[in-house]
Amino acid sequence: MSDPFDDFLGKALAPPERDPDRAFVARVHARVLLHEAIRAQRQSALQRLSLQLIALLAVVAAFILLSQSPDVAAFVAESPAIVLTALIALFSMLIAVFASRAGSSSDSAAMSAFSRV
């Protein structure tokens, strides 16, 4: 059984009745959406990185196999400056290709979720 004094204390110390805080719920929901968007973007970035590493390894393997040829080895020994210039140019082109792909990814989902926070 409950004591009348316990009932009195329970009513006196209970928090006041109020409506739910909808602004808080909206902020928490926006942050959850933001974290989901960031997680998806992180996974996409890791996939892109792995594909770019595979592509880079394929290019390096091709150069290594190409350098095994006696004709190519003789040309490299004869004029290393031309070969170095060509390698730097090819590396620059790879960077340009990778950068253009990374810039075309959809960052709008994370930005729209971030703007709602």
Which of 38-47, 57-66, 71-80, 106-115 has the least mean pLDDT?
106-115
Instruction: Specify the pTM.
Output: 0.52
> What does the block give as tokens for 11?
């009513």
Question: Which one, of 85, 92, 81, lies nearest residue 59 by Cα?
Answer: 92
| Average pLDDT of span 41-68 | 90
| Average pLDDT of span 14-20 | 84
User: Is 78's pLDDT higher than 70?
Assistant: yes
Domain ranges (residues) in the chain: 20-115
| Average pLDDT of span 39-57 | 92
For residue 97, the model assigns a pLDDT of: 83
Question: Which one, of 83, 60, 81, 61, lies nearest residue 71 by Cα?
Answer: 83
Contact call for residues 5 and 74 (beta carbons, < 8 A): no
What does the H/E/C string look like for 13-63? HCCCCCCCCHHHHHHHHHHHHHHHHHHHHHHHHHHHHHHHHHHHHHHHHHH
Contact call for residues 117 and 27 (beta carbons, < 8 A): yes
For the chain, the helix, strand and coil percentages under 3-state DSSP, each to the nearest 5: 85, 0, 15
For residue 102, the model assigns a pLDDT of: 64
For residue 115, the model assigns a pLDDT of: 54
- Give the amino acid at 110: A
Confidence grade of residue 30 (pLDDT, cut at 50, 70, 90): very high
Q: How far apart are CA 81 and CA 17, in angstroms?
A: 81
For residue 55, the model assigns a pLDDT of: 86
Confidence grade of residue 113 (pLDDT, cut at 50, 70, 90): very low
